[in-house]
Copies of this chain bind each other. A is one copy, B any other.
Amino acid sequence: MAKDEVKLFGYWASPFALRVEWALKIKGVEYEYIDEDLMNKSPMLLQYNPVHKKIPVLVHNGKPVAESLVIIEYIEETWKQNPIFPEDPYEKAQARFWAKFADEKCQPSIFSAFLKQGEELEKAVKEARENLKTLEMGLKGKFFGGEKIGFADVAIGWIPFWTGMTEEIIGVKLVDEENMTLLNAWFKDVLNVEILKERLPPRDKTLAHCKNFRESLLSAGASASPST
């Protein structure tokens, strides 16, 4: 069999590209990483993802797959080693449920807290805390995957990293350490998993990037959301 050609179009500060990289790393799949300039996207990216025109896109032997969670499922089914999902369909459904919850509820509310000010910030913070408290219900032990990381950890392990920076930027804690003991422990544990930790972008550079991104959105009065 010819060697697989695997390319990943990403952006260094994108959590959605990061989670795809984590899945590839866990599987031990070799890939070429192409960092996109989001202000000037490459013709290749637009060709491979004509629908959303967004990163991440995985291109496997010339065939593109878009949407980060769809890509992770594809990676899991294509390379069988080191399964990311549990075998049991019920546990698999739970993992998908929590990844979806985090994408649809936690991420928008944390992003809203990141962007709002004054009274709107208070409301956003309250909502983000409620969603994070709910997310805690999905922990099956140390991780969402139980004693080792699974699909939900890979999908949403970026949340602790970006939430920490958001808290620093807005000067408000989103994780209530007393009231979210389990989630707070997961926030630390998941970023200490070697294979995840080593692919995190440098914190200082990412923090500066987030600050600039926030300033530009605030001054434009916009409320764009990051690409998934």
Interface residues of chain A, those whose CB is within 8 Å of chain B, are 50-51, 60, 63, 65-67, 70-71, 73-74, 77-78, 89-90, 92-93, 96-97, 100-101, 134, 137
Complex: chain B residue closest to A134, CB-CB:
B51
Q: Which residue from B66, B89, B92 sits with its C-beta under 8 Å from A97? A: B66
Q: Residues of B contacting A77 with CB < 8 Å? A: 89, 92
Contact of A70 among B67, B96, B134 (CB under 8 A): B96
Cα–Cα, bound, A177→B71 (Å): 33
- Contact partner of A92 among B67, B74, B96, CB < 8 A? B74
Q: A98: nearest residue on chain B (CB-CB)? A: B51
Of the candidates B51, B78, B93, B134, the one whose C-beta lies within 8 Å of that of A65 is B93
Residue of A50, A74, A93 ringed by the most chain B CB atoms within 10 A? A93
In the complex, 28 of the A-B residue pairs with CB atoms within 8 angstroms, ordered by the A residue number, are A50-B137, A51-B101, A51-B134, A51-B137, A60-B90, A63-B90, A65-B90, A65-B93, A65-B97, A66-B97, A67-B96, A67-B97, A67-B100, A70-B93, A70-B96, A70-B97, A70-B100, A71-B93, A73-B92, A73-B93, A73-B96, A74-B89, A74-B90, A74-B92, A74-B93, A77-B89, A77-B92, A78-B89
